[in-house]
Amino acid sequence: MARFNASESANYGGQGGGGFFSISENKGVKRVRFLYNNENDIEGFSVHEVDIDDKKRYVNCLRTYRDPVDMCPFCREKIKTQVKLLIPVYNVDEDQVQVWDRGKKMFEKMSSLCSRYANKDNLVQHIFEVERNGKPKDTNTTYEIYEVEKDDTQLEDFEDDMPKLLGGLVLEKSADDMEYYLEEKEFPPEDDGEEATTRRRSSRRDEEEDAEDDADDEEEDEKPARRSSARSERRTPQRRGDK
């Protein structure tokens, strides 16, 4: 399962993107709490992005950087992997828990914040201003983060609102599910699960085997008919004058 912590992030490649928390204008500023206690809470995901019902969705990669490519059907088929740091934040200005969808470069910045502010306190106790430096769609956009306030807020205060990452924003699919997607361009219905995928595969195999059996039966039926025809020809006497 391709989850990893900040110390392992250098072993993964990919690029980031936008997310539910965003700052759209250049020099725009929003206040947030990062919903982590310390660096140990930071998790990254190696994901594949696929189309599901005309929407882009992340699917968790099944292999780590140490594993062979064939361990993940999407890797085997060269569907691009991306590194994602899905940061749960509390948007102070909007009074809402959101997810900031960032890439590999954000690991270093988050590690630095934890080193500076989470040694004695929990990171969630600090409110930060996040400032965007870059126009919309500028791929060189960067973000500056400044601490502005500290209090006694605890991570448990947001327990009921914490977003589900793996199995939620990042779909968790089995190798069979991925094989099914590669064939059908969709995943099996979630209410059926892996058993249904296995049943479908077994059903397809049964149909193929039935077709082969039918062909064999037809061939066997033809053999007696050919033998009977040959015997009939041998037994029919040749009349005088026939050549």
Neighbours of 35 (CB within 10 A): 23
Per-residue pLDDT tens for 27-64? 999 999 999 999 999 999 999 999 999 999 999 999 99
Determine the angle formed by the axes of helices 193-235 and 175-184, rounding to 10 degrees: 60
Report the DSSP pairing between strands 55-60 and 44-52. antiparallel
pLDDT of residue 236: 46
In the predicted structure, residue 68 carries a pLDDT above the cut 70? yes
Could you state, in order of their start, the residue ranges of all structural domains in the chain? 3-174, 188-235
- Cα separation of 228 and 234, whole Å? 10
Residue 243 has pLDDT above 80, yes or no: no
Contact 123, 36 (CB under 8 A): yes
pLDDT at 233 over 80: no
Question: Please, what is the average pLDDT of the chain?
Answer: 81
| Structure confidence at residue 120 as a pLDDT band (50, 70, 90) | confident
Beta carbons of 181 and 62 less than 8 angstroms apart: no
Whole-model pTM: value is 0.70
- In 94-141 the beta strands, taken as DSSP E runs, fall at 96-102, 126-133
Residue 86 has pLDDT above 60, yes or no: yes
What confidence score (pLDDT) does residue 8 get? 47
Q: H-type helices in the chain, by residue range?
A: 73-76, 105-117, 175-184, 193-235
pLDDT in tens, 144-170: 999 999 999 999 999 999 999 999 999
d(CA 14, CA 4): 14
**Confidence band, pLDDT 50/70/90 cuts, at residue 190:** confident
Note the pLDDT of residue 199. 52
Query: Per residue in 130-157, is it b (16+ CB within 10 Å) or e — as a string?
Result: bbbebeeeeeeeeeeeeeeeeeebebee
The predicted-structure confidence for 87-98, as pLDDT tens digits, reads as follows 999 999 999 999
Architecture of domain 3-174: Alpha-Beta Complex (3.90)
Alpha-carbon distance of 36 to 113, in angstroms, equals 11
Distances (CA, A) of 1 to 63, 131, 167, 172: 6, 34, 12, 9
